[in-house]
Amino acid sequence: MIERAAGPALVIAGGTVHTPDGPRRVDVHISDGVITSLEERRSASPGPGVVDARGMYVLPGAIDVHVHSRDPGFPEKEDFGTLTAAAAAGGVTTVVDMPNTVPAVDAGGVLEAKAALAHSKARVDFGLWGLIRSSSTAEQLESLARAGAIGFKAYLGYAFSLGRKQILYTAETDDPDLEAPPDYGTLLRLAPVVSALGLPLVIHAEDPGILAAFRRPLDSYSAILAARPPEAEAVAISAAAAIADSVGTRLHIAHLSSALGLMAAEAALKDGSRLSLETCPQYLWLSDQDFPRVGNVMKVYPPVRTALDRAALIDAVDRGVIRIVATDHAPHTNEEKARPLELAPAGSPGVQTLYLSCLELAKRLGDMWKAPRWVSEGPAALAGVHESKGQITPGFDADLVLVDPRRGTEFRPSLMRSRQRHGALEGMRSSFSIAEVYVRGRLVAREGRKVGKAIGRMVAPR
């Protein structure tokens, strides 16, 4: 999959650029898809190969480390083409796809087949996570690493259907078709393997024992909150951190949702854990009070909790304790989401509104220039692509977003490019709009519409 992006030389001229030294009025010079220099002088005169970015902010493309393409497996929900059209429209220039596609990505051969499929449709660059099953072997994880996996995800409490080669939203295992979910024993057994490979271990952090003890009919939003208490998150984080620490494994907490989970994570960090934290826009913008307005689109696991949880998470993002904001873009069809609350699957799309929602939050916290840290720099380090992506600096890929601060955007279904035109942040306004998006110097979206062909290619950690 090695190929040179023989893009023409390009200059993004006249904008205010997010550089490692802070915002600067410089021109970004690009050759063969790579940033060659940042130049103070307005050297370029308008003409072919020069993009007029006057009045714009030039930001590094976002790297969304938590998306569910549904491809292969559930084309009615989404595929790599529609996922990456939405990503491009929203300024996300790299997506890292979760392994719960079908067949689940539990070995190198499966990852290679998925990579080939994604490559044929991807409009932005992509990485792929591998899956840890309770039966996973060292050889399987090694084959995933050789095939280019970004790291490994373990879904605590999610069983595996052997017949369908698919993970399910259930911890039941009485059916012989179902393999037991990975548990702390699985993590302890495989942590040394993951550690030796130098890749991160990602967990869906909800303790299955606590979830089992609090099961109940999900006939209201408060029942969902009672069924998935924040203690489940805190316990899973503490336990996984203790296990990872015993062998020095890098541990990453997906979609942190609660103040209690955050406290557990901060305690582990204080003890020296190699822990990275991710939260999502839905936890930063919504609370249980929004359910009557938003409805089932707000049903995600772990759940959106209280305003106090939200305040604690915003504060942790602001302090730089949570270094990554990703979306958990997890589309289901309108029909599925319209089922009664109990039967509607958890998950909603979000990749397209990541950047604009984070810019708005950063602005309200007093410094919009913080947003690229949350969506580009932090994620690049997790994904191991921090030597080529996540910053606007010479030698890095020209993954660039031109943001217009003079025009706002309202998140409306008609603007959404995912196969599912809904989202938990629907109705929200951002003070910014995304004008143009470049992946390795090639224009992939303008004013929310995809441009050009599927030029995305796979990235792997180094």
Of the pair 100, 249, the CB lying nearest ligand DOR is at: 100
Q: Count the site residues for ligand DOR by CB under 6 A.
A: 8
State yes or no: residue 330 binds ligand DOR (CB under 6 A): yes
Query: Judged by CB under 6 A, which of 69, 100, 296, 353 binds ligand DOR?
Result: 100
Of the pair 60, 347, the CB lying nearest ligand DOR is at: 347
Q: Which does 100 bind (CB under 5 to 8 A by kind): ligand DOR, Zn ion, none?
A: ligand DOR
Helices (H) and strands (E) in the chain, counts: 15, 25
Residue 206 CB, shortest distance to ligand DOR, in Å, is 8
Three-class SS state of 388: coil
> Which residues, 322 to 381, sit near Zn ion by CB under 5 A?
328
- DSSP result, 153-190: EEETT--EETTTTEE-S-----STTEEPPP-HHHHHHH
Of the pair 206, 397, the CB lying nearest ligand DOR is at: 206
Residue 347 CB, shortest distance to ligand DOR, in Å, is 3
State yes or no: residue 347 binds ligand DOR (CB under 6 A): yes
- Could you give the strand order of the β-sheet that contains 400-404, starting from the edge strand earlier in sequence? 22-25, 16-19, 57-60, 400-404, 433-439, 442-446, 449-450
Residue 401 CB, shortest distance to ligand DOR, in Å, is 26
Of the pair 221, 301, the CB lying nearest ligand DOR is at: 301
Q: Which residue is nearest to ligand DOR (CB)?
A: 347
81 touches 52 (CB < 8 A): no
Residue 197 CB, shortest distance to ligand DOR, in Å, is 24
Query: Judged by CB under 6 A, which of 123, 204, 373, 457 binds ligand DOR?
Result: 204
Which one, of 186, 182, 111, lies nearest residue 149 by Cα?
A: 111
Dist CA 168 CA 385 (whole Å): 30
State yes or no: residue 147 binds ligand DOR (CB under 6 A): no
State yes or no: residue 291 binds ligand DOR (CB under 6 A): no
241: Cα within 13 Å, side-chain hemisphere: 24
418 touches 347 (CB < 8 A): no
Identity of the residue numbered 54: R
Three-class SS state of 309: helix
Decide the pairing of beta strands 152-155 and 130-131. parallel
Longest dimension (CA), the chain: 70
Q: Which does 121 bind (CB under 5 to 8 A by kind): ligand DOR, Zn ion, none?
A: none
Provide, for the chain, the percentages of residues in helix, strand and coil under a 3-state DSSP scheme, each rounded to the nearest 5: 35, 20, 45
24: Cα within 13 Å, side-chain hemisphere: 15
Residue 52 CB, shortest distance to ligand DOR, in Å, is 41
Q: Which does 300 bind (CB under 5 to 8 A by kind): ligand DOR, Zn ion, none?
A: ligand DOR
Dist CA 361 CA 119 (whole Å): 33
Residue 363 CB, shortest distance to ligand DOR, in Å, is 28
31 touches 344 (CB < 8 A): no
- DSSP result, 341-371: TTTSPS-B--GGGHHHHHHHHHHHTT-GGGH
State yes or no: residue 97 binds Zn ion (CB under 5 A): no
- Is 271 one of the annotated active-site residues of the chain? no
Tokens of 25: 């009025």
> Which residues, 50 to 69, sit near ligand DOR by CB under 6 A?
68
- Choose the catalytic residue: 27, 106, 328, 397: 328
Of the pair 16, 279, the CB lying nearest Zn ion is at: 279
Q: How far is CA 50 from CA 7, 105, 361, in A?
A: 13, 42, 31
Of the pair 13, 65, the CB lying nearest ligand DOR is at: 65
Of the pair 10, 300, the CB lying nearest ligand DOR is at: 300
Q: Count the site residues for Zn ion by CB under 5 A.
A: 1
State yes or no: residue 83 binds ligand DOR (CB under 6 A): no
Q: Which does 418 bind (CB under 5 to 8 A by kind): ligand DOR, Zn ion, none?
A: none
257 touches 233 (CB < 8 A): yes
Of the pair 347, 423, the CB lying nearest ligand DOR is at: 347
Of the pair 115, 330, the CB lying nearest ligand DOR is at: 330
Residue 389 CB, shortest distance to ligand DOR, in Å, is 25
Q: Which does 301 bind (CB under 5 to 8 A by kind): ligand DOR, Zn ion, none?
A: ligand DOR
State yes or no: residue 301 binds ligand DOR (CB under 6 A): yes
Residue 204 CB, shortest distance to Zn ion, in Å, is 7
Tokens of 246: 């015993």
Residue 346 CB, shortest distance to Zn ion, in Å, is 9
Which element (helix H / strand E) includes 213? helix 208-213
State yes or no: residue 300 binds ligand DOR (CB under 6 A): yes
Residues within the interface to ligand DOR (CB under 6 A):
68, 100, 204, 300-301, 330, 346-347
Positions marked catalytic: 328
Residues within the interface to Zn ion (CB under 5 A):
328
